[in-house]
A and B are shown apart, each in its own frame.
Chain A
Amino acid sequence: MKKNNLLKRLLSFTRPYLGYLFLSLFFASISVSLTLYAPVLTGRAIDHVVGKGQVDFNALKVILLQLALIVAATSFSQWLMGLFTNKVTYFSVRDIRTKAFERLQRVPLRFIDSNARGDILSRVVVDAEQVADGLLMGFTQLFSGIVTILGTIGFMLVINVKITLLVVFVTPLSLFVADFIAKRTFNLFKIQSETRGEMTALIEETVGHMKVVKAFGYERESYEKFEEINQRLEICGIKALFFSSITNPCTRFVNGVVYTLVGIVGAFSVVNGFLTVGQLSCFLSYANQYTKPFNEISGVIAELQSALASAKRLFEVIDAQPETPDPSDSVVLTRTDGSVELSHVSFSYVPEIKLIEDLNLSVKAGQKIAIVGKTGCGKTTLINLLMRFYDIDKGKIIVSGYDVRNLTRNSLRASFGMVLQDTWLKAGTIRDNIAYGKPDASEYEIVSAAISAHADGFIRRMPEGYDTYLTEDGANLSQGQKQLLCIARAMLSLPSMLILDEATSSIDTRTEIHVQKAFDEMMRGRTSFVVAHRLSTIRQADLILVMENGRIIEQGKHEELLLRKGFYAQLYNSQFDV
């Protein structure tokens, strides 16, 4: 995205707050014009203070009173301007952030699976903050800067045209200087921002898995990796920081030159009688005020540079291609008969590496389908496809007689209950977690679900029972306990089909027996897909699919498959063969 478009995009987020924006600009104009008027009064006052015995106190009193009034009005409108600017900024950043987050909920899983989480995180959190700072600083300052410049020119023209022209033509020099520097710093900021992202990703990985690092005594090596990025960050940081911070002194110097020129030319004019001393003093403070916005603008530009670099990264998330929307005529799957059919399904994560090809499967309502096979054979992928986390490349998946592409994703997913190997819990109470899929569940339902999942026992032993607060990702629970909670969560919102992906891998078998019973109970009359390594749990399956390299190589019931003495039989017997 071009820089200008980026800015336009950024400003488009302020559209809902145009009212505040205008108020903020309105008060900015008032405070700026009053601020500009003050030096005129000061100058006039000084003209009444000429020298020994030449002071007109009566005139002075009137002017100073006027000045006091102007000052009061100025500060009041300054305050209002600040309030409205804050409103615009913070509302807009909230919107940008929410928009990014919203998009994350709508992008295909491919986007999330293929980007480093730390990087996405830093875009939503750090970059958004940067945009807030840049916007807050940039927004009204840019505007009041411009008004100041225009206003000053106007006031100066009234007093003296020659000196005004001098000021107007020399000062833009500082803009050139600022622009020259800003152009060069944009890239430096970008590099810095990228290196920071790299750093965040590394820290996420290393510190996130510090226990593993320690288990292998790998502290030194990971430190070396860290240090390499750290040093690069230092170098590009110094450059970015230095070059952005020279803007101010450089423009200040240009301003100093302007000030001097005004002083000299003004002094000559006074000597020649074209100007009073008070007017010269007024001009001098204008020269200051006129150049100040240039200074500020350059400061704002530096801040905007970094805000823009951040905005760019943020917009990359916001502009990520969302899942193809559900077509408008898509059906909301309310009642499922439980039948699932896959015909000629092909799918691969990367086009070059084929995974599932021409897969056919017909599941009748209420059947229990077990999927077995070596790791990496496509079992998990199959689940990704059933849930429409990924869309198939070729073929059709039909659920309850509907092509899944004609169903709303939400209703399709809601018709499956899912327990994954990768246990995930929210930060929140145990109760909230169990009721995640059904927030209005009664206490009775929650406890029953926990009992069925054999989680009630350990929950009650926790210090605050169901109100125990789980930290992020249930870090205060064991893997097995987390899995029991995930099961309870699925138990509560009884859907018509079930997906269990190695759902019980970390639960001990004594507990699993009970959970399994509960599952069997729950699965009665429901279509279920079970990926399990413990063959004992799938013996009663109606259909066992044996997968290899994305294809179903054998299917049938347990006994049939054993008789066939094929891959399944080999797999089954291997568990006794040590």
Chain B
Amino acid sequence: MFKLVRFLKGYKKECIIGPLFKFLEACFELVVPLVMAGIIDIGIKHKDTGYICKMGALMVFLGLLGLICSLTAQYFAAKASMGFGTALRRALFRHVSNLSYSELDEIGTPSLITRLTGDINQAQSGVNLILRLFLRSPFIVVGAIVMAFFVDVKLALIFLLATPAIGAVIYFVMSGSIPYYKRIQAFLDKVSLLTRENLAGVRVIRAFSKQEKEIESFQNTCDDLKNEQIIVGRITTLLNPLTYVVVNAAVIAIIWGGGFQVNIGDLKQGEVIALVNYMSQILLALVALANLIVVFTKASACAVRINEVFEIFPSVSEKDSPCSAVSGSERVSFNDVCFAYKGAKEEVLSNISFSVPAGSTIGVIGGTGSGKTTLMNLLARFYDATKGEVLIDGVNVKNLSFAYLRKKIGIVPQKAVLFKGSIRDNMRWGKKEASDEEIEQALKIAQCWDFVFSKPEGLDAKVDQGGKNLSGGQRQRLTIARALVGRPEILILDDSASALDFATDARLRRALEKETQGMTVFLISQRVSTLRNTDFIVVLDDGKVVGIGRHEDLFENCPVYREICLSQMEEKEAKQ
């Protein structure tokens, strides 16, 4: 939790004013029993009604001051804690945006999402409570003890015994329950996993008629959660009864001891009442403190999870002084490139070497898991090669700025993802300030023209979250258009036509060929027909290049390629 304190930086003023005013309020509150003791010991004893009224007015005045202080404190605490939450959320979001693929794989997006939402909310309420109440309780406890000494030193010793005893009770209850909270959190995570999973897999679940089974397993998880909660509840509910016992034992001791003091004339009746009042104030303060500790523990657990994310640094980072490209060299070259995913023993790509001249179209083919997508991820520098180098225009991609790389390379990822907003908004991902003409042109090339403009809203047509209101094929074509809007010099199409029918695919390829003159295009596909007319084809098998060349040569000389061809077409078609 304390590591997150830096997010309160802009709220120094609030963080001081809040507790300060709480402190003042506590002071006013502590004076009240003494005033009351005065009423009893002076006012009543001497039948001085004027004194009684004067003291009464003083008490109301103290209460009013307390109210003002408290409101001030609450306001500043709300401001600081919300500011804290906002700043923390902002920083975490930014941090997550800076992580590279490798770290995203490692933490997993679902977990990141919980940390950004639930965990931050918890941490935020933790801060609010600390500012509002955490400091108030110690003020009251210490203040009440001081006041007790003020009244009677001997009886104040009872306070010195009782307070640590209450503290010990609180400590044992807390430390006994903390381990359970971690387990409760784990069950809560599972509840949210199951919910998410069932929303995503609703079709499959219903197809297999597994609704009842899913409900059952959800029920079991909720049951486990409930059981843990009840166990921890057994411990935490001990808190109030035990403290009540300690405090009342102290009260009995005060009255008994007070009896002796009063009997010898060292103490007055009203003062005994004041001491009893101070004792109950201490109890109230400590119980409030204990309840806060529960919230605080939860918040700390969340803070730990948040910090875990902050402690992960992007493995792929920009050079301090990125350089720009050198002209005259090959557009793209792979020099003896190897790559293994973090933590994996085996390489996904080994010793890849080939070069691509500017303006050519390259096909990359290979079976599932042969490393096609990984190869392109290295080119776009989503991961860094573990060995060897990837060059664009003769410069290692590690020396290029991210902005330059993103502008230079347009990517159509395998999974067609669109974002909530209008079609225009989505298209502008490729180029922030793209004009409608540019967008329209890209849409035409990507064969989206007909369906986008059959919509009455045209470019303003709404895209739902995840593009759910569009078909798979439409989404895929839109992602192609999105990449084309920026007119990148290098275009990567990663199996981007898989959801398209052949006619659309063929039209798309023709349009691309015509419109991407000068663009270096990487076509990743499993369809030979998509690739056969490219300038050359790289055949990948199990992370190794097993053939490079034109379709005809490969068909004759590369057994893997030949096999792929024959799985898709008749021999005579392949030879055509």
Contact = CB atoms under 8 A, between A and B. Distances in A.
B126 interface: no
* Most A CB within 10 A of own CB, among B263, B432, B504, B509: B263
Interface stretch (A360-368, A394-402, A421-429, A554-562): A421-429
Contacts of A105: 198, 205, 211-212, 214-215
Interface string A209-245: 1111111111101110011001101100110011001
Nearest to A75: B241
Contact of A268 (B52, B66, B564): B52
B204 A71 contact: no
Contacts of B407: 217
A87 B237 CA distance: 12
A575 interface: yes
A437 B210 contact: yes
A210 B44 contact: no
A260 B207 contact: no
Q: How large is the interface on A (under 10, 10 to 19, 20 to 34, 35 or more residues)?
A: 35 or more
Contact of B208 (A78, A116, A436): A436
* Most A CB within 10 A of own CB, among B132, B380, B567: B567
B569 to A, nearest CB: 7
Contacts of A535: 502
Contacts of A87: 230
A511 B367 contact: yes
A238 B78 contact: yes
B503 A207 contact: no
B200 interface: yes
Interface in B208-247: 208-215, 218-219, 222-223, 225-226, 229-230, 233-234, 236-238, 240-242, 244-245
Interface in B1-58: 25, 32, 36, 39-40, 43-44, 47, 49, 52-53, 55-56
Given A71-B244, A234-B83, A83 B121 contact: no
Given A53-B263, A71-B244, A121-B192, A480 B108 contact: no
A216 B485 CA distance: 11
Contacts of B36: 263, 284
B33 to A, nearest CB: 9
A253 B206 contact: no
B272 interface: yes
A413 B209 contact: yes
A48 B259 contact: yes
A389 B102 CA distance: 38
A246 B71 contact: yes
Given A46-B272, A64-B255, A578 B71 contact: no
A260 B474 contact: no
A285 B90 CA distance: 48
* Most B CB within 10 A of own CB, among A42, A105, A219, A507: A105
A508 B368 contact: yes
Given A215-B380, A509-B567, A75 B532 contact: no
* Most A CB within 10 A of own CB, among B36, B366, B370, B474: B36
Contacts, number: 472
B472 A375 contact: yes
A575 B256 contact: no
B59 A375 contact: no
A534 B569 CA distance: 11
Interface string A551-578: 0000000000000000000111011111
B94 interface: yes
Given A271-B49, A510-B564, A215 B368 contact: no
Nearest to A231: B86
A472 B269 contact: no
B564 A509 contact: yes
Interface stretch (B174-182, B352-360, B411-419): B411-419
Contacts of A101: 194-195, 198, 215, 218-219
Contacts of B229: 86, 90
Interface string A294-315: 0000000000000000000000
A458 interface: yes
Given A49-B255, A117-B196, A125-B188, A574 B502 contact: yes
Given A260-B56, A374-B503, A203 B49 contact: no
Given A94-B225, A242-B74, A71 B248 contact: yes
Interface in B264-286: 264-265, 268-270, 272-273, 276-277, 280
A283 to B, nearest CB: 11
Interface string A74-95: 1110110011001100110110
B195 A125 contact: yes
Given A64-B255, A271-B49, A210 B99 contact: yes
Interface in A401-437: 409-411, 413-414, 416, 418, 420-422, 424-427, 436-437
A97 to B, nearest CB: 5
A83 to B, nearest CB: 6
Contacts of A288: 280
Nearest to A81: B237
A338 B113 CA distance: 45
Contacts of B67: 249-250, 252-253
Interface in A247-294: 248-250, 252-253, 256-257, 259-261, 263-264, 267-268, 270-271, 277, 280-281, 284-285, 288
B203 interface: yes
B499 interface: yes
Contact of A234 (B59, B86, B109, B196): B86
Contacts of B526: 507-509
B449 interface: no
B501 A373 contact: yes
A479 B495 CA distance: 11
A261 B209 CA distance: 69
27 contacts: A46-B272, A48-B259, A68-B248, A101-B218, A104-B195, A109-B203, A121-B192, A125-B118, A201-B465, A203-B113, A203-B116, A215-B406, A221-B429, A223-B97, A226-B90, A226-B93, A231-B86, A242-B78, A253-B66, A256-B59, A281-B276, A374-B473, A387-B203, A475-B108, A480-B368, A513-B567, A574-B507
- 5 closest A-B pairs by beta carbon, nearest first, are A375-B473, A480-B368, A82-B237, A217-B406, A75-B241
